Structure 1
Amino acid sequence: MELKRIHHVAVICSDYQASKHFYTQVLKLKIVAENYRPERESYKLDLALPDGGQIELFSFPNPPPRPSNPEAQGLRHLAFNVDSVAVYAAYLQAADVEVEPIRIDEFTGKPFTFFKDPDGLPLELYQL
């Protein structure tokens, strides 16, 4: 018995429409399913990643903000593999997304950088 890969990562957003736009239009993730749960006043949006994994985007009334950035206890950031960090970072900047300067991982020698979703969730680009 062994773990195979990540199935999904769940993200709670404060502004559902802004986050839906960011993940589907800027990051270009495809919608698998979108459901509204009236009893919870909550949307659940399933987004497909190219490797078969998913991001679940949730909305809830008045979610508490992230305690600190990025060194809060719990999930630190979500990282995406890309063919070229520089090319994808330029694409994000053209879409008015602020991107940190590209750095080199001291252990692997691979380029990486960080940017944030509409709620300030740290996202990373990591070169294959």
Structure 2
Amino acid sequence: MRRMIGMGVAALLLALGVPGPGRAQDAEFGGQLFASFCAACHGADATGGGELSAILALHPPDLTQLAAMNGGVFPTARVARQIDGRDPELVHGGVMPLFGTYFDFPDAAIPAEDGQPILTAAPIADLVAWLQAVQQ
């Protein structure tokens, strides 16, 4: 049932002109998603100082340092897998995203750091593009 709903929404988005699989990542839209869904914990600038960070058991990491902590290479595959739930962070309470099926569709392919395609949801691809753009 959930897959049928997702396919229906994907078809509707396609009919409205929203690009489907293989579309370019939209870092600007990813920034808007980050502000809406992630900034409360991770901070508007992604450095970990969100308004809820003070009450969390573990302080959110500085997401602008992901590439620096990975030898200068942005860990695209790892970031996408953590956001889409394939590699869940326990600090997130389990599988991400915590926002229901919002990030489930439409599908998009993004290149991992080794060039291999990663299939994920388009909003997650946009979030990953924004995170890559804010690396220090």
TM-score for the superposition, normalised by structure 2: 0.31
From the two aligned structures, give the one with the greater helix fraction.
Answer: 2
Write 1 or 2 for the structure with the bigger share of strand. Answer: 1
